[in-house]
Each structure stands twice: as structure tokens, then as C-alpha cells.
Amino acid sequence: MKLRAPEEQSVNSEEEQRVAFRDKIDVHMMGNVMYYVLTKKWLFEGLTTEEATSRMAKGRRSKIPKDILASKDPADQAVIKAIAMCWTHESENRPAAREVSDLLRVALETILGTPHLGVVRVSIPPLPKDYSYSDSDFYVNLGGTL
């Protein structure tokens, strides 16, 4: 539940579920992925599912660490802005994935000084061999128990 979009948190009926599951949920998840890549932290790390669900229902999200927020790196700032776009609470106001992609592409073009890059493919380097997850949220987020 910690990884789900706000509109998925309170789905009660089959009709509500049908309405709730649309492309904007994928955009919200894209923000979750960017959050982890940027911070190397899980969403609502250290909180129970109930605590996380309650915070999300109130429009709150996991905090981006102060050192990253204060970064002067334009790439960091572009990703922070993209995460904020993806985490727009009301799904009808959440941008389409293309809008987020366009923001990141323009930021990359600006950073590189190269207009009109076209299609950009990126890869994330592997984590160091001695890297360990910061807590057990990974398993809990996948529905496991400890």
C-alpha cells in the first residue's frame, strides 16, 4: 500500500476500482521510482503501512533529504520537480507521463547544451556489492511479512 497512488488507497467498490485504475497511477509510480533513485530511500521508510496510508490520504509524501533539496545540481533539481509533478495528489490534476518526460528532456538538453536530443535512453548503474537496503520496507511493500 505504501507504493500505491492516493486514489488507490480508498477504493471500496468494483466501480470505484475501475475509475481509479488509469494511466495517472503509473505517473504516480514513476515519481516513486525517481524518489528511490534520487534518495536511495524507500517511500515512507520506517513507517508502518497504516501510518504511510494515513499520511498519503492527507496529501503528504516522503520527504526529500535537505542536502538533496539544497543541491545546486540542475539534474537533481529537475528530478525533484519531476517527482513533485508525479506526486500531484488529485489524479485529474496529475500530468501525463509525456509532460514529465518533456520536463526531464528539456532539463537534460539544457545541462548538456544540446537542443533537440530526440529519444534519450538512460541506464542506472548497479548498486555497489556491499550496498544493503536501509530497512525492511522493501519486503513489506511487496506484501511480505517479517
Q: Is the pLDDT of residue 19 over 90?
A: no
Distance CA(114)–CA(138), nearest Å, equals 38
Q: How many domains does the chain have?
A: 1
Q: Nearest CA to 28 among 78, 84, 79, 87?
A: 87
Q: What is the CATH number of the domain that holds 90?
A: 1.10.510
Q: Is 11 inside a domain boundary?
A: yes
Q: Is 68 inside a domain boundary?
A: yes
pLDDT of residue 139: 54
Residues 6+ apart with CB under 8 A from 85: 27, 31, 94, 95, 99, 100, 103
Q: Which amino acid is at 144?
A: G
The mean pLDDT value for 48-68 works out to: 90
pLDDT of residue 140: 54
Task: List the domain range (segments joined by +) for residue 28.
Answer: 6-141
Q: Is 33 inside a domain boundary?
A: yes
Distance CA(74)–CA(51), nearest Å, equals 33
